[in-house]
Amino acid sequence: MLKGGLDVIDKRLRHLQRYKDIIVALSRNGLGFLLEQLGLNDLHVIPKRLYKERNPNSEGKTLGERIRLILEELGPTFIKVGQIASTRPDLFPDEIIRELEKLQARVPPFSFAEAKEIIETELKQPIEEIFQSVDTEPLAAASIGQVHLGVLKTGERVAIKVQRPNIQEKIETDFEILREMATLAELRMEWAVRYRVRDVVNEFADMIRDELDYINEARHSKRIAKQLADDEMVHIPTIFTDFSTAKVLVMEYIEGVKLSDVMEGKGAEFDQKEIADHLARVTFQQVLIDGFFHADPHPGNILIQPGNKLVLLDFGMVGRLTDLMKEQFGLLLISLMQEDTEGIVEHLLEMGIAPVGIDKQGLKADVDVLMDKYYRKALSDISIADAVRELFQIAHKHQIELSSDYSILGKTLLTLEGTIAQLDPELSIIEVAKPYGRRLLRERYRPKKMAQQVLGQLSEYVDLFAALPKQMKILSNVIKKDKIQLEVGIPDLESLLKKMDRISNQLSFAIVLLAFSIIMVGLIIGSAMSGQPSLLWSLPAIEIGSIVALFLFMWLLYSIFKSGRF
């Protein structure tokens, strides 16, 4: 009991200190008004002077720049949140997105002694029994971890990625506070409810947790390596699974020139056009064919080796598209290329969850405006990433809920397009995407796949009909207990009743004609069997009946044609 109470006190103290940091960061950078809106502008446990501090560097800055400064000041969690937010143009305007894309973690490396302790704790043996040597100075340091160069006992050179000490606890504390602030925001501000701020915070938290677990990164790396195994011009570093855990990742060390350096002209021996074309093809292979893709392909995560060979690094963040999502996105791209507004609207609605009573005409009008922007432009002049981003913004405007993987895809395309534009400005990634889109369509209409879809639907119908008697029984019991109240509103009821009356009259007429026809058939058969003509009051009944039946039949046909419902 005592331990539990101390844990609660410790948690509250940590929260209090972090709230101080957040209040200072917001106040210093000109966003103190948010504290008032959230009801945090008068916390008695926080000194008043903290609300009045100002950052001279924020003077004259735009809103996006101020947000970036705040996130950088608050450290790893908030920098990661900002980096993820930069993939969500459906939530944030372009000017803020552009600033969030500049976010860089300016964090010093932690000591080798701490790194050594984490490695030995995770691998449960002294570092000297695993490695021949480990460089004490890190190759690189980031917000979540840092990388050391080492050599295994078996002689392989490796990159050892080590997670920062206590980073998980710090991130969990930050997200506990962000959830509290999101709850306050939804209670006090209408826009927070509209944007589902709590759901967004939880979504970001899940993504960062995945990135904190290096086992996930190892799994992602292996999967993409398998997908691209047939491409000799792409290499993915081998993961040494026996020496990798949630906090330590040991992978093959590969030498090469960073793509960012090649783009700056430092690798004159490389063919930038060939690199651009191959990078675009590798990306569309992952997105449209495999449905599992590297979601952070910026130039710093790509090395170039002799012969223009690509080396892809850092698979902490990936995107996933199901077969249905691939198909829907491919069809959206095709409709976009064909300037098919109706198709774009249809596929946008299929890609997400639309609200009840969505204004389809308003949605179509917004898509029409977007199409006017790209009308009569050459494919090489169209930014597919910008077009997709603006379409997703339109979807958000009309409250169509899209999977976050679509947003990650949009960000990936934007990064790709920016890289391609610098490597080879003449290359159109739409042209590169075309064969992959056609392959996707061929796959969609492949007889085997269509048969599988039909069988799947039949199975669903079988399950539906199997459950129908039970459901009907439940419904019957509910009705017997008078627990169903049904209220139906029908516009223009009088007109509807007239139409129903006319239909019932025509149906009655048809039944009479059928009965008369049956009687006539009986008379004909009876006459044929007896060999005597059928007379009614000395009149030929069959002949007269046939004329009457023909007249009635013609009248019925005339009524049907006149109604326009034939």
Q: Report how far residue 428's alpha carbon sits from residue 447's, in angstroms, rounded to the nearest whole number.
A: 32
Task: Quote the CA–CA distance of 91 and 407 in Å, as a whole number.
Answer: 10
Q: How many Å apart are CA 287 and CA 415, to the nearest integer?
A: 14
Where does 75-166 have alpha helices with state H?
A: 76-85, 94-100, 112-123
Tokens representing 318? 């990936």
Across 496-550, the runs of DSSP E, i.e. the strands, are 535-536, 539-540
Distance CA 401, CA 386 (A): 19
Q: In terms of Cα–Cα distance, which of 192, 319, 311 is closest to 259?
A: 311
Q: Would you name the residues annotated as active-site residues?
A: 296
Q: Which residues pair with 28 in a beta bridge?
A: none
* Cα distance between residue 138 and residue 491, in whole Å: 74
Burial of 332: CB neighbours in 10 Å, binned 0-12, 13-18, 19+: buried
Rounded Cα distance between 34 and 40, Å, is: 8
Q: Both tokens of residue 518?
A: 């049956």
What kind and span of H or E run contains 252? Answer: strand 248-252
CB 296 within 8 A of CB 144: no
- Kind plus residue range of the DSSP H or E element containing 233: none
Which letter does DSSP use for residue 267 in this model? -
> Do 337 and 381 meet the contact criterion of CB atoms below 8 Å apart?
no
